[in-house]
Amino acid sequence: MNVEFKILDSGLTVLHDQMDVESTSVGVYIGSGSTQEKKHECGIAHMLEHMAFKGTENRNAEKIAREIEDVGGDINAYTSKEVTAYYLKVLKENTNLGIDILSDIIKNSTFPKDEIERERGVIISEIGQSYDAPDDRVFENFTSTAFKNQSIGRPILGTKETVSNFQQDDLKSFLTANYAPENMVVASSGNIDRDRFFKTIEEKFSNINNNFKHIEKLSKWNSGFYGEDRDLEQTQLVFGIEGLKNTDVDRYSLRALAIILGGGMSSRLFQEIREKRGLCYSIFSFTQMQNSSGVFGFYAGTSPKDLNELLEASLNEWKNIKHFISNDELIRAKAQMRSGFIMGQESNGARAEYYAKSMINFGKLIKTKEVINKIENISISSIHNVIEKLFTSANPVLSVIGPDASSFKTLNVNNLLN
């Protein structure tokens, strides 16, 4: 692994992954997202990410876009529960330009009041669009039930009410509290000089004097049901239980379990629910792992008349896997995990993000060889241990959107796995 990192005197972590390509991917990854928000701040991390592109002391919004696109580059950002990222990709000879723009966004954003009002409308439209997408909404309802009255359970986009109230000082305060060097990783992957990159980052990201205080977020899982009546052709559902944290030693075995249950066309759920019974078009298992908690579950969309049969048949597959996993299933799951990781390593953008999150979550680089070894060490026994760990004291959550979805509230979700 030809990647190195250093922690500057300011506390900023800088890392570079040497890769023989003609482009450079550079990103700034902040170890804060929507989970750092107070209730009245719901959505502010996401709005801040949007506003960072709306003007700095040196560039207006148009100039930020033009400077990158004039050299054929791309720039973007995202906000998640625990990470906010600003990243770009340019030809290697334009790396310094990319670094200058990223540092300008992080250090010198001005949050013009007219742009705040304009972007407020954009985000409120985005919230409306999310509401109109039932396959998104069913996950939001699931999360808000599982983590009721907690920041991890609130929507990343925020609500119309909270977004309508954010002002310039609110954005500046959240930035000051979170965008500090000790809470940031600047990562690059490409064919550039490492020492020069480290020096450039040290110069460009100097004099960030924000006052970050790490606050450990503890999450409490709640069992429950959320039914939302909608006049839809398809009923959407998400069922799940509490999963694992993103640093849990059993996380690889849990991912293998998700693949065996619903990770592709050969998985148990796809074969039984779609291929044999014809009850749905889409069904899959998923894991979500955060610093404080996690989720393990499955999603499906089906005809309202088939909802009972689909849920019962899907949970039967969950129950059956407690008793038997074949060696063929294990081999297939490990092959998918291995190939997915290795293929991801072929993109310099994905590599920069992977190494940055490795530093944020573990405080060290997790080498490729170590990941492959962890995957190879997954066994039927280790998967059964995870099943025992999660299923024995499971407190299920069920989220349903569709015609008469609220009628499912008569079900005792705590008995669905028994």
Active site residues: 49
Q: Which of 301, 235, 247 is nearest to 82 (CA)?
A: 247
375 with 341: CB under 8 angstroms?
yes
Length of the chain: 418
Pairing of strands 294-302, 235-242: antiparallel
Determine the distance from the C-alpha atom of residue 156 to the mean position of all C-alpha atoms in its chain, rounded to a whole number.
Answer: 10
CB hemisphere CA count around 132 (13 angstroms)? 6
Separation of alpha carbons 149 and 4, rounded Å: 41
Separation of alpha carbons 366 and 370, rounded Å: 7
Kindly state the greatest CA–CA separation across the chain. 64
Give, in degrees to the nearest 5, the angle at Cα 316 between 313 and 321. Answer: 135
Q: Which two tokens stand for residue 52?
A: 């960072």
User: CB under 8 Å to 209, separation ≥6 — which residues?
Assistant: none
Residue for token digits 């024995």? 392
Separation of alpha carbons 158 and 383, rounded Å: 36
